[in-house]
Structure 1
Amino acid sequence: MSAAPAPPMTVPAGAQTATVAAGCFWGVEHMYRRQFQDKGLYDARVGYIGGDSSNPSYRAVCSGRSGHAEALQVVYDPDKVSYRTLLEFFYKMHDPTTANRQGPDAGSQYRSAIFFHGDEQEKIAREVTEQVNKQWWKGKVVTEVLPAGQWWDAETYHQLYLDNNPSGYECPSHFLRKFPALE
């Protein structure tokens, strides 16, 4: 079964979308939901972005041949949580220094990437990436900053995977690191 384009979501006026890839999407979704569930998060979906194929399936993405990354797309209230805050969390919750890898998961589908939606998000993504590269990761960040293209929701059984499968696989590189505030 292939993924499908995300249907339009009914959210309050003014909601914004952020899209990130940080390895296996189950843990990324789980961590964002826990961190932001009462702090402006309207929805979080796992899916595929950044590749060449239409209607990608999980199997095709896992093969590494589709070009897609396993990713998370969040819809949020910018009056309650800023895009910058979402990106700072992104850089704290995974290892952005390994090209096409998170922990034992290897392949381009596990790359670190920020897929921006518009000029303002691109500007913030590049600024935050530069700051965390200098202050937290000491010049080792390999995160891609790219325009968001077509988003494909992952198959239904991947949504809320760790909530529905509490003992399911979670990448060991997904944990919250303690860094000082960015200057």
Structure 2
Amino acid sequence: MRRLLSLAFIAIAACSSASATERVVPAARLDPPAAGQQTAVLAGGCFWGLEAVFERVKGVSNVVSGYAGGSREDANYERVSSEVTKHAEAVRITYDPKVVSYGTLLRVYFSVAHDPTQLNRQGPDVGTSYRSAIFPQTKAQADVARAYISQLTSAHAFARPIVTKLENGPFFAAEAYHQDFMRRNPNYPYIVAHDVPKVRALAQLMPQLVKG
């Protein structure tokens, strides 16, 4: 189902305890430096929340909500919502690796941005378009992501297995009304229940990464 939740469910969710990922996982051991402006594409549930978290990270200059893993022809909200296009809701993050590394972005991704142990869903949102997936933009990113998942698995960072996959595929920006959704709709019930806690967790658990 899409983000059409009953008010009762939203109220319960808003009062629930922290999610499984609202913790700081270990830093990536493999995290080589990169030169010049870089982009990262990450999928992990509703792109509203991913965008809201990463646009607050130091070194990130732009975050775009969109769709990754499918064709351009099907890259629209109605088609992706049908769960037959192979897209995942994702964000494209533009960042300065001199300020924030790819490994650090992945640390935020696994710590507070989503739950990497949920298969084809995130919270109330169910379907393959909500899957946990990393779309490396370079071989170096693929190496870091693969090593980091292995590192977190070996460290038993989560009580359940990590289901995050590395995938290939282009990224397409979502419709204009999805961009900066939390900033423009801070009191929207879904945002209050599911995305505000992620932003709050980032500030509380990783304050050194938050823009001033």
Q: TM-score range by the shorter chain?
A: 0.7 to 0.9
> 2:86 and 2:74 mapped to 1: Cα distance?
12
> 2:187 and 2:85 mapped to 1: Cα distance?
29
- The match for 1:87 among 106, 130, 135 is 106
74-83 vs 126-135, greater mean Cα deviation: 126-135
Q: Is the contact between residue 53 and residue 67 of structure 1 (CA under 8 Å) also seen in structure 2?
A: no
**Are 1:160 and 2:172 counterparts?**
no
Greater Cα radius of gyration, structure 1 or 2:
2
Counterpart code for 1:57: N
Q: Secondary structure at the match of 1:172?
A: helix
| TM-score of the pair, normalised by structure 2 | 0.71
| TM-score of the pair, normalised by structure 1 | 0.82
* Residue 143 of structure 1: how far off its partner (Å): 0.3
Q: Which residue of 2 aligns with 1:3?
A: none
Q: Which residue of 1 aligns with 2:162?
A: 141
Q: Secondary structure at the match of 1:56?
A: coil
Q: Which residue of 2 aligns with 1:30?
A: 52
Unaligned runs of 5+ in 1: 1-12
User: What's the % identity of the aligned pairs?
Assistant: 41
> 1:44 and 1:172 mapped to 2: Cα distance?
19
> 1:44 and 1:53 mapped to 2: Cα distance?
19
> 2:37 and 2:108 mapped to 1: Cα distance?
19
- Matched pairs, number: 163
**Are 1:110 and 2:110 counterparts?**
no
CA RMSD of aligned residues (A): 2.0
Q: Which residue of 1 aligns with 2:92?
A: 73
> 2:72 and 2:94 mapped to 1: Cα distance?
24
Q: Which residue of 2 aligns with 1:101?
A: 121
Between Structure 1 and Structure 2, which shows a larger proportion of strand residues? 1
- Runs of 4+ deviating beyond 6 Å: none
| Superposition map of 1:33-72 within 5 A | 33-34=55-56, 36=57, 39-52=58-71, 54-72=73-91
Unaligned runs of 5+ in 2: 1-34, 207-212
Deviations 1:9-53 (A, max 9, x none): xxxx8100001001000011001112x1xx211110000011245
Q: Which residue of 1 aligns with 2:24?
A: none
Between Structure 1 and Structure 2, which shows a larger proportion of helix residues? 2
